[in-house]
């Protein structure tokens, strides 16, 4: 037995060292290390190969499993279903509020009609109806949405003519317009500004440690792209208000509004490249602001403006906090203030303060109660002043609340004013004005009829009233209140009174004893009472 075998663990170590040295001395150590290194490389190469083979097999299997979804012949576009909805714009709520404003400010009934209004630029035809050709229906809907004291009367001569032929209506009770609208789309400028921008970034690297025989490329890369382009166009609408009787334009009652519309295209792209194979994502989006919708907005804004100007109400309060007061209305208020006495101005302001909710006396005197209310409404008002300034006059008028409560206060104020005013004189007993034993005076230019039997007391009443001088009317209020006109009785031949007429006749009360109706603030006809129609 060899000695190193019997020497224990220490002998074994010593022996292995001897063997390594022996191998090294024999020149075989270097080949062993080389073989070990090559074995490792061969083993790693087999792992990468099996990995990519498995990946390709999995991709092919997945493709066959989902062939029904990637088959080009099975492509189908998906369209989401939407329910019909009410058209809502930025001015949908402002339109009925303008009608409520006309009631609170007690404007006269505005009977308005519109001419056919459309595109006068010719762009609707040349651009394939990019803008509407006719906007008359938009105007009809807008005016009819206001309500209040705004009454829209359509213009349709063909319909009226056809109805006359059929005999369905005699058109005797039809409402006659007071004013007429004219206008159109006067500008449509396309391509005013065109801007574009893009971003393109890429990153690429090469993995040299990969074998060159197995993969088509050793490169990996990442690419990102972003592109956008936008264009600007402008649409402008013009409207004018004409007097229906004269067909002449009403000065300063017009509206010119413009709006910019945009269209843009945007696209993004993300791509990844792995060993010669590329895949990624790409998307594009194109948006165009609706030209027809923009025209509707312009129509609604223009109708609010032109009606508000004509009725002299602060319509800009309905357009947002950043809206600018209209000088046409404020100038009319300043001129109305300048044409009145201090008592007249005070009484007008007291009526407006009553609508605010302050129970001030409607006497035309600037008492302490009125001053206290003015301080609450206008912080710039000085209670030491002996009269109301023009600025306070305008400030109080412009800021009258627009609510149903204010409308109720306005009706209450009308009742109070009517109660304060003496009623028109009523001929309760026509026999007192025309004695039964005397014949009524002849009407100039007419023959006196032959006396004859009277069929009814109503006929005698009518004849007596016609012959009686008109009862004196109460003096007009110094406020912006307006009195309903009393219809004048048609001249008729007077007949002798054969018998006593009833004391109170409904016809007499209807024709003669109408009480005046008072309004709260400046309006078209209200300002016209202080300023003539020509001055307005």
| Pair (126, 187) in one structural domain | yes
Q: Cα–Cα distance between 189 and 211 in angstroms, integer?
A: 63
Q: How many residues would you count in the chain?
A: 536
Q: Cα–Cα distance between 443 and 469 in angstroms, integer?
A: 11
| Pair (264, 402) in one structural domain | no
Domain end position, chosen among 318, 350, 366: 318
Domain end position, chosen among 391, 420, 449: 420
Q: What CATH number corresponds to the domain at position 155?
A: 3.40.50.10610
| Pair (111, 238) in one structural domain | yes
Output the pLDDT for position 18.
41
pLDDT tens figures, 143-190? 999 999 999 999 888 888 888 788 777 777 888 999 999 999 999 998
| Pair (386, 289) in one structural domain | no
**Does the residue 62 lie in any domain?**
no
- Answer for the pair 239, 183: CB distance below 8 angstroms, yes or no: yes
**Does the residue 506 lie in any domain?**
no
Output the pLDDT for position 50.
60
pLDDT tens, N- to C-terminus, the chain (536 residues):
444 344 444 443 443 444 344 444 444 444 444 444 444 444 444 555 566 666 666 666 665 555 556 667 777 888 888 899 999 999 999 999 999 999 999 999 999 999 999 999 999 888 888 899 999 999 999 999 999 999 999 988 888 888 878 877 777 788 899 999 999 999 999 888 888 888 888 888 877 776 656 667 778 888 889 999 999 999 999 999 999 999 999 999 999 999 999 999 999 998 888 777 787 888 999 998 899 999 999 999 999 999 999 999 999 999 988 899 999 999 999 999 999 999 999 999 999 999 999 999 988 899 999 999 999 999 889 888 889 999 999 999 999 999 999 999 999 988 888 887 764 443 333 334 333 333 333 433 334 344 444 344 333 333 333 433 444 433 333 333 333 333 333 333 333 334 444 444 444 444 433 433 434 444 444 443 344 444 44
| Pair (307, 197) in one structural domain | yes
| Pair (119, 196) in one structural domain | yes
**Does the residue 453 lie in any domain?**
no
Domain residue limits at 18: 3-51
pLDDT tens figures, 269-291? 988 887 777 878 889 999 988 99
Q: ∠ CA 111-115-119 to the nearest 5 degrees?
A: 140
**Does the residue 110 lie in any domain?**
yes
**Does the residue 433 lie in any domain?**
no
Domain end position, chosen among 371, 390, 420: 420
**Does the residue 309 lie in any domain?**
yes
- Could you tell me which of 141, 135, 139, 110 has the C-alpha nearest to residue 121? 135
Structural element, H or E, at residue 192: strand 179-206
| Pair (289, 337) in one structural domain | no
- Could you tell me which of 536, 529, 420, 521 has the C-alpha nearest to residue 149? 521
| Pair (7, 151) in one structural domain | no
| Pair (269, 354) in one structural domain | no
What are 535's strand-pairing partners?
none
**Does the residue 298 lie in any domain?**
yes
Task: Find how far residue 108's CA is from the centre of its chain.
Answer: 24
b/e burial code for range 301-332 (CB count within 10 A of at least 16 → b):
bbbbbbbbbbbbbbbbbbbeeeeeebebbbeb
| Pair (290, 343) in one structural domain | no
**Does the residue 66 lie in any domain?**
no
- Answer for the pair 459, 453: CB distance below 8 angstroms, yes or no: no
| Pair (241, 384) in one structural domain | no
Q: Look up residue 83 and give its two tokens.
A: 């329910």
Domain count, the chain: 3
Q: ∠ CA 497-502-503 to the nearest 5 degrees?
A: 115
- Answer for the pair 270, 328: CB distance below 8 angstroms, yes or no: no
| Pair (336, 311) in one structural domain | no
Output the pLDDT for position 67.
54
């Amino acid at each position: 037995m060899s000695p190193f075998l019997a020497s224990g663990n220490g002998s074994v170590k010593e022996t292995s060292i001897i063997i390594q040295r022996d191998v090294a001395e024999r020149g075989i150590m270097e080949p062993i290390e080389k073989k070990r290194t090559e074995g490792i490389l061969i083993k790693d190469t087999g792992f990468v190969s099996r990995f990519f083979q498995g990946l390709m097999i999995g991709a092919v299997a997945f493709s066959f499993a989902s062939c029904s979804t990637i088959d080009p012949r099975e492509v189908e576009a998906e369209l989401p279903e939407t329910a019909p909805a009410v058209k809502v714009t930025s001015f949908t709520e402002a339109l009925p509020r303008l009608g409520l404003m006309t009631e609170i400010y007690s404007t006269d009934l505005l009977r308005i009609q519109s001419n056919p209004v459309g595109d006068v630029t010719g762009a609707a035809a040349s651009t394939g109806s990019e803008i509407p050709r006719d906007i008359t229906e938009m105007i009809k809907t807008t005016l009819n949405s206001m309500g209040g004291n705004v009454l829209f009367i359509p213009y349709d001569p063909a319909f009226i003519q056809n109805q006359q032929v059929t005999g369905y209506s005699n058109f005797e009770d039809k409402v006659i317009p007071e004013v007429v609208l004219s206008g159109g789309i006067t500008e449509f400028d396309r391509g005013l500004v065109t801007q574009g921008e893009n971003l393109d970034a890429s990153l690429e690297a090469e993995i040299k440690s990969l074998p060159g025989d197995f993969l088509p490329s050793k490169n990996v890369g990442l690419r990102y792209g972003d592109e956008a382009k936008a264009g600007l166009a402008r649409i402008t609408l013009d409207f004018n208000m004409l007097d229906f009787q004269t067909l002449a334009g009403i000065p300063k009652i017009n509206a010119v509004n413009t709006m910019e519309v945009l269209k843009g295209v945007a696209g993004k792209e993300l791509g990844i490249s792995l060993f010669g194979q590329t895949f990624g994502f790409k998307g594009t989006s194109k948006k165009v602001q609706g030209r027809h919708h923009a025209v509707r907005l312009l129509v609604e804004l223009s109708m609010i403006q032109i009606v508000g100007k004509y009725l002299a109400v602060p319509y800009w309060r309905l357009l947002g906090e950043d809206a600018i007061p209209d000088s046409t209305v404020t100038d009319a208020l300043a001129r109305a203030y300048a044409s009145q006495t201090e008592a007249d101005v005070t009484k007008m302001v007291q009526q407006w303060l009553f609508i605010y909710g302050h129970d001030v006396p409607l006497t035309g005197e600037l008492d302490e109660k009125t001053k206290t209310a003015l301080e609450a409404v206008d912080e710039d008002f000085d209670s030491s002043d002996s009269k109301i300034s023009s600025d306070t006059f305008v400030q109080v008028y412009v800021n009258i609340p627009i609510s149903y409560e204010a409308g109720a206060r306005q009706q209450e104020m009308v009742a109070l004013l009517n109660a304060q005013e003496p009623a028109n004189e009523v001929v309760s007993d026509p026999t007192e004005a025309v004695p039964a034993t005397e014949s009524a005076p002849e009407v100039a230019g007419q023959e006196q009829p032959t006396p004859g039997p009277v069929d009814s007391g109503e006929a005698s009443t009518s004849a007596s009233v016609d012959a009686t001088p008109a009862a004196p009317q109460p003096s007009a209020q110094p406020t912006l209140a307006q009195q309903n006109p009393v219809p004048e009785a048609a001249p008729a031949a007077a007949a002798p009174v054969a018998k006593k007429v009833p004391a109170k006749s409904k016809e007499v009360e209807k024709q003669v004893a109408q009480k005046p109706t008072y309004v709260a603030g400046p309006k078209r006809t209200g300002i016209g009472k202080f300023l003539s129609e020509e001055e307005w």
